[in-house]
């Protein structure tokens, strides 16, 4: 009987044992393969966003100075003046490591930051914050779950304390992902309870497994953005660097690529996304508001994480396409008040590096579509960010305020600076 059982189940047990061995023996990525790092830095897939090994490898590289650029869907607009392409073309002292895809907002970034805390300590970062994130419902739970990996939660839980930040983060996690396998631990943190010794052992064991799994699959997950979109387009830019020449090039690109509509929107985007329903979109945004949202509290989690690691950050606030704004009826006063609220949350806590581009939506070819930076917009972005990253900065001093984690702040409409 035992022999028959072994004949049936033995191969399964052997396969499982081999799999466990392969995962546990997967070596850490410590060799800093520049080709891998550049590919990962521009890949913009959920897998890269969630993989700790790839981010840690690049962001700890002492020779090639990858800087985290946090954001969302704007990074996918790889025209010739995209920040990754400018950095490549002009051999900047830094290389953007793009962190963010469509639907990734503050809460996703906060949990993702748990994986790279050592790489954020006393370093610099760029954070592109879109007012469009601040809708009444906040981030969609499905989007959060799509960009979440358990490894992020294990690292959070390993260091969680009974603080307002950790309690709020755990509560938000439970609202977004109540069915998660780590919910039992998150409930304790949310309620201000300490994790037991057994809890900590289980979390550490699961985290170590996740690290080995990350290392095993890290090298199999690259796309081709660097080879297909960054390197070839960088070769087309005029040399040497000249802001006047680049601005002229931006105008030429904008004119050539927005010729089929009156909104200065990319031709392909207009044809596929707007033209089929254009009449229905007139005045469709006149009741939009970004002034009340749980996103303000989620954003505070990000600020707390930067402060914890003494990360010096520049925050970029974009405009909307002024032509499109006029057509859809988006309230300019509401937009300005949203920006003011974001700025107050930043400056009142010592986050003073802000590239506020919110008033530039009427400049020629500043936007590529309705809400994403375009040709001259990227140049304005580059002027601010390049100066910040290449000029010696005074180490930041932050004064955090837990008030920004409250519902009162999230729902506050008017802010006086």
Burial of 150 (0-12, 13-18, 19+ CB in 10 A): middle
- What CA–CA distances, in Å, run from 46 to 43, 112, 153? 9, 11, 16
Report how far residue 39's alpha carbon sits from residue 288's, in angstroms, rounded to the nearest whole number: 38
Residue 176 near residue 139, CB atoms below 8 Å: yes
DSSP 8-state class, residue 229: I
pLDDT score of 296 more than 70: yes
- pLDDT, residue 16, reads 38
Q: Binning pLDDT at 50, 70 and 90, where does residue 185 land?
A: very high
Report how far residue 143's alpha carbon sits from residue 148's, in angstroms, rounded to the nearest whole number: 9
Segments making up each domain of the chain, as ranges? 2-393
Cβ neighbors of 251 (< 8 A, separation 6 or more) are 364, 365, 375, 376
Give percent of the chain above pLDDT 70: 90
pLDDT score of 22 more than 80: no
pLDDT greater at residue 175 or residue 102: 175
Report how far residue 260's alpha carbon sits from residue 132's, in angstroms, rounded to the nearest whole number: 26
Give percent of the chain above pLDDT 90: 80
Q: Binning pLDDT at 50, 70 and 90, where does residue 415 land?
A: confident
Residue 367 phi, psi dihedral angles, 5° rounding = -115, 145
- pLDDT, residue 219, reads 56
What is the crossing angle of helices 295-308 and 332-347, to 10°? 30
- pLDDT, residue 9, reads 46
**Which two structure tokens, joined as six digits, stand for 60?**
């700890």
Report how far residue 381's alpha carbon sits from residue 83's, in angstroms, rounded to the nearest whole number: 8
**Which two structure tokens, joined as six digits, stand for 335?**
């937009």
β-bridge mates for residue 355, sequence order: 316
pLDDT greater at residue 11 or residue 181: 181
Query: In terms of Cα–Cα distance, which of 39, 37, 182, 200 is closest to 119?
Result: 37
Cα 383 from chain centroid (whole Å): 21
Longest dimension (CA), the chain: 83
Structure confidence by residue, pLDDT tens digits, 318-359: 999 999 999 999 999 999 999 999 999 999 999 999 999 999
Residue 321 near residue 276, CB atoms below 8 Å: no
**Which two structure tokens, joined as six digits, stand for 298?**
């989620």
pTM: 0.91
Determine the average pLDDT of the residues in 264-282. 96
pLDDT score of 3 more than 70: no
β-strands 312-317, 124-128 pairing: parallel
pLDDT score of 148 more than 50: yes
Report how far residue 265's alpha carbon sits from residue 270's, in angstroms, rounded to the nearest whole number: 6
Helices and strands: H and E segment counts in the chain: 22, 5
């Amino acid at each position: 009987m035992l022999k028959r059982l072994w004949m049936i189940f033995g191969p399964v047990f052997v396969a499982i044992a081999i799999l466990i061995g392969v995962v546990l023996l997967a070596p850490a990525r410590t060799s800093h393969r520049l080709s891998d790092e550049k590919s990962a830095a521009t890949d913009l897939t959920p897998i890269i966003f969630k993989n700790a090994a790839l981010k840690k490898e690049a962001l700890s590289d002492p020779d090639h100075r990858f800087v985290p650029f946090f954001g969302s869907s704007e990074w996918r607009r790889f025209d010739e003046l995209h920040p990754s392409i400018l950095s490549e073309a002009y051999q900047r002292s830094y290389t953007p490591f793009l962190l963010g895809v469509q639907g990734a907002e503050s809460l996703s970034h906060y949990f993702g930051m748990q994986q790279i805390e050592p790489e954020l300590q006393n370093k610099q970062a760029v954070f592109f914050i879109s007012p469009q994130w601040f809708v009444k419902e906040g981030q969609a739970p499905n989007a959060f779950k799509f960009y979440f990996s358990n490894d992020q939660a294990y690292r959070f839980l390993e260091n969680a304390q009974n603080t307002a930040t950790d309690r709020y983060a755990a509560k938000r996690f439970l609202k977004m992902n109540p069915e998660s396998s780590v919910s039992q631990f998150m409930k304790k943190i949310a309620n201000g309870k300490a994790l037991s010794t057994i809890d900590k052992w289980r979390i550490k064991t699961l985290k170590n497994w996740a690290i080995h799994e990350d290392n095993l699959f890290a090298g199999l997950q690259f796309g081709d953005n660097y080879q297909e979109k960054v390197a070839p387009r960088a070769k087309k830019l005029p040399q040497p660097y000249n802001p006047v020449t680049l601005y002229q090039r931006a105008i030429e690109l904008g004119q050539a690529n927005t010729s089929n509509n009156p909104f200065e929107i990319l031709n392909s985007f207009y044809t596929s996304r707007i033209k089929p329903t254009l009449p229905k979109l007139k005045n469709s945004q006149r009741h939009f508001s970004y002034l009340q949202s749980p996103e303000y509290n989620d954003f505070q989690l990000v600020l707390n994480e930067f402060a914890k690691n003494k990360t010096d950050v520049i925050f970029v606030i974009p405009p909307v396409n002024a032509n499109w704004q006029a057509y859809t009826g988006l309230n300019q006063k509401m937009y300005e008040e949203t920006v003011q609220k974001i700025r107050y949350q930043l400056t009142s806590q010592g986050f003073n590096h802000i590239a506020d581009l919110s008033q530039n939506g009427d400049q020629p070819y500043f936007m590529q579509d309705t809400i994403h930076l375009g040709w001259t917009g990227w140049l304005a972005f580059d002027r601010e960010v390049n100066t910040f990253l290449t000029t010696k900065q005074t180490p930041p001093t932050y004064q955090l305020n837990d008030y920004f984690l409250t519902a009162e702040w999230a729902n506050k409409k008017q802010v006086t600076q």
